[in-house]
Amino acid sequence: MDFGLTEEERAIRDTVRDFVKREVMPLEADCLRNERAGRVGVDRATLKALQHKAKQVGFWGINTPEEYGGMGLGPVMTALISLELARTFVPFYLGGYADNILYHCTPEQAESYLLPVIAGDKISCFAITEPGAGSDAKAITTSARKEGDAWIIRGEKTFITRGNDADFTMVFAVTDRELGADGGVTAFLVDRDMGWKSEPIDTMGEWGPAALVFDDVAVPEQNILGEIGQGFTLAMEWINAGRFILPARAVGACERLLQFALDYANTRSTFGHPLAQRQAIQWMIADSAVEIEAMKWLTLHAAWQMQQGQDNRHTSSMAKLYAGVKANEVVDRVLQIHGGMGYTRELPIERWYRELRLLRIYEGTDEIQRQSIARNLLKGNVKLASTPN
């Protein structure tokens, strides 16, 4: 086994790390100030300008196929880049990206949806979660009924990322209740100007999700994404493709936070000695370092499996579960090491504290991940002490 990066991978990682440090981290103070004043941390125009700066140094569409103008770097490099971007809480991501299921667009749909998203001219959102259907995605009740040449969508979605900013949504609705989720759910491409409304949801973090309301929104037949009844398959394709990105972001955030703790422990003295000499502090630092390393390799293994064309759902579930739990423990220790200062809003630790808590909830709660992992083992779908194929 070779756990080292290639020269190309190392060069790409280092370039992204340098870009984040040079161009993105300087925005942190203003981002915090704006958020705490109830404003958007960094406005859309600034983020778009940053994306074009990154494009000038070669970073555009890191996992977008080359035929669409992207880099096509693959899951492992995507995970490594996500880790680097997560070293800052500024909500920046590289441009030239489109949701993976948009590649199921017809050529006509691609002109209106896929290509504008890749170009950064349109924003999309993925809408499956409902007030009564969170982790249990098969329980969705939003419906779509056929009337003439259109489908009439009625229902509500909740906790939708980018829902307040999106120009269109990929919404999942029941088209045949008798068939249930497997065959009875269809995905639709629905422009905002077709009539759906969004309302912001106030959360303890800066995630900024939205509730989407569809009150008999008429959608043309040609706006079906994929095939009728294929919706749940597309939804799982979307969820599974990006699940390893969440723990990758946890790793990046925790490495930055632990560096805060190391710097503070070496400079802060109590009772005549640096905190770094206190065994209690040393143990918190050691435990955090071990856990960060473990979550990193679980995450990269899940990405590597996907890159090899293997089924990585089990490994991704383990990575997300472990990273979500341990990231919350790491940030809690870092806050504890900083004492009262860590609890203030003068430092950004509390900001990360609130943000990392979300990792244990969205895109599959801890409980759902545990259920999935246990079921796979109990049913023999995966085996203990298995080696890569």
Q: Name residues whose C-beta falls within 8 Å of residue 89's C-beta, 6 or more positions apart in sequence.
A: 28, 31, 206, 253, 348, 351, 352, 355
Q: How many helices (DSSP H) and strands (DSSP E) are in the chain?
A: 14, 10
Strand partners, 200: 210
Q: Distance (Å, rounded) from C-alpha 193 to C-alpha 361?
A: 31
Report the Cα 226 to chain-centroid distance in Å: 23
What is d(CA 44, CA 50) in angstroms, rounded to the nearest whole number?
A: 10
Strand pairing category for 224-225 and 185-191: antiparallel
Q: Are 292 and 319 in contact (CB under 8 A)?
A: no
- Which of 145, 285, 149 has the alpha carbon at shortest distance from 216? 145
Q: Is 9 a catalytic residue?
A: no
- Classify the phi-psi angles of 238: left when phi > 0, otherwise alpha if psi is within -120 to 50, otherwise beta: alpha
* Residue 25 CB partners (closer than 8 Å, separation 6+): 87, 88, 90
| Selected catalytic residue, list 84, 156, 355, 363 | 363
How do 210-220 and 197-200 pair as beta strands? antiparallel
How far apart CA 328 and CA 292 sit, in angstroms, is 11
Q: How far apart are CA 139 and CA 180, in angstroms?
A: 9
Rounded-to-integer distance, Cα 81 and Cα 245, Å: 10
At 145, the amino acid letter reads: R
Residues designated catalytic: 363
